[in-house]
Amino acid sequence: MKSFNSIRNILLLWLLPGFALVYIVVGIGLYQTEKNTLHNRLRNHLSAMAIRVKPTPEGFKLLKPIKRGLRPLADFDYRDFQNLYIQVWDKDGNTINKTDNLAEDSFKFPGWQKRKSRPYYAQVLGKTMLVKVQANPRRNNITAYAMSTEIMDENLSKLMKKLVIGGLLSMAIFFVLLAFALRFALRSLKNLTQQTQQLNADSLTSRFDVEPLPKELKPLAKCLNDLIARLEQSFTRERQFSDDLAHELRTPLAGIRTTAEVAAKWPDKTPENDFNDIATSAAQMQLTVDRLLMLARLENKIESSNTQSCQVDSIVETILGLWNEQFNAKSLQMKQQIDTSCHIQTDAVILQMLLSNIIGNAIEYAPEKSELDLVLNKNYFLLVNDAPDLTADDVKHLFERLWRADKSRTVETHAGLGLSIAKRCADLLGFSITAQLDDHQRIAMRVQFNQQSNLKNE
């Protein structure tokens, strides 16, 4: 069955029987039309013979052509006498006369009551004959005129042979033409397939030329171009991610190596602060690696699986408690508008990770003695903090992995992955997360709860 799983074979499988069916229907129509024409011609010819040939006591005589009304009687060839059979009966069914070509055979007496019946077919001398009966009340006799259908049957047989042979030839020609037509029509698809097979990571800048393609393939080519564009962006992000990761790890590794070389060369003169620097650099690398592993695990998840009823205000209170020391150390103030009756059917662990990264990011980057605004209701979570160093262009990159504003790169406790993790958590939960910088240099992080998450007010 796999050999038929192709557009070419499917079209051939449907079009050939369809063409054969159409040809058969047309052939039957032509055959029936010709058959009816021949039968009507034979019937008219027989009627003309019945008018022109009349029985007499001496035999049969041929009358001259006459006109009835405005239409002359049909003429005929004298050779038709060879195919004309005549038999005459009296009213009691006794044969009075008949043509010599009937020999010992004869027609069945039709009966006086059927003297006005329409022409009918009968088997005489082993032949099928069309019989027409005429009665002569003045002479009290009935005459049967008959003509053999042998010539008509031969013509119909020849027509049938021509139709069959013509059908087979037409099917063969149609098959060849259809095969060439399909091959030509599918050439664009074949070329598109070959171009697709040649794509690799180094040729993602190329695009398919849509204009020369057939109308049916243009949507496919456009979709492939869009796919290649997305792949190009993904590869660009991955290359940028590799560069950023190398940059993030290179600085602490260089510091560790330099400090270690100095300590190995002058062990007695190595100050204690150098070892503290090594520990700090190692902690920075560990933080980066741990968050990368967390992000990788989140990206490998297709959807959240542990759905339960979560009291969001309780989760927010727990997270604020974990960041209380840093919050107080920077003398921050927070204005809260929290709906304590907000419950969500979602994954509590991922939700806590989402909100923790947003709250932690705000506390880390908020200037000292500044104010944070936190809003929580049944529709969204919103956290606003001052961000004097951010620009509108920076906001576009906030959720990218390992991205940090230039002034924050000197802070060794940041890996630039918190908001990337928050973005992935929001995607898993079916939420949307956005960032917006207003005219007062305040950044607003907003998590819009999706209605499909079964929000409840209790």
Q: Which of 249, 282, 300 is the last residue of a domain?
A: 300
Same domain for 378 and 356?
yes
Same domain for 50 and 130?
yes
Please give the pLDDT value at position 273: 66
Same domain for 233 and 117?
no
Q: How far apart are CA 439 and CA 95, in angstroms?
A: 125
pTM: 0.47
Please give the pLDDT value at position 392: 84
Same domain for 293 and 363?
no
Q: Which of 233, 267, 300 is the last residue of a domain?
A: 300
Q: How far apart are CA 105 and CA 126, in angstroms?
A: 10
Same domain for 192 and 280?
yes
Which helix (H) or strand (E) is 250 found in, with range?
Answer: helix 218-265
Q: Which of 140, 156, 172 is the last residue of a domain?
A: 156
Q: How far apart are CA 358 and CA 360, in angstroms?
A: 6
Q: Would you say the C-alpha torsion 55, 56, 59, 61 has a positive or negative sign?
A: negative
* 380: in domain: yes
Q: What is the mean pLDDT of each run of 10 residues along the chain (458 residues)?
A: 65 83 91 91 84 73 54 46 82 84 85 69 88 83 88 91 91 86 82 82 81 83 87 74 63 72 68 66 65 61 68 89 89 90 83 87 90 91 91 83 54 62 83 90 89 44
* 162: in domain: no
Please give the pLDDT value at position 71: 42
Q: Would you say the C-alpha torsion 387, 391, 393, 397 has a positive or negative sign?
A: negative
Same domain for 112 and 132?
yes
* 230: in domain: yes
CATH classification of the domain holding 217: 1.10.287
- Ranges of beta strands (E only) in 295-415 are 307-311, 333-338, 342-347, 371-376, 380-386
Residue 132, C-beta contacts closer than 8 angstroms, at least 6 positions apart:
43, 46, 47, 50, 119, 144, 145, 146
Same domain for 226 and 136?
no
By residue range, what is the domain housing residue 37?
6-156
Same domain for 12 and 151?
yes
Same domain for 357 and 265?
no
| Cα dist from 176 to 12, 182, 185, whole Å | 10, 10, 14
Same domain for 450 and 306?
yes
* 175: in domain: no
Same domain for 326 and 256?
no
Please give the pLDDT value at position 207: 85
CA atoms within 13 Å, Cβ hemisphere of 131:
24
Same domain for 56 and 122?
yes
Please give the pLDDT value at position 70: 37
Domain count, the chain: 3
Please give the pLDDT value at position 444: 93
Please give the pLDDT value at position 407: 47
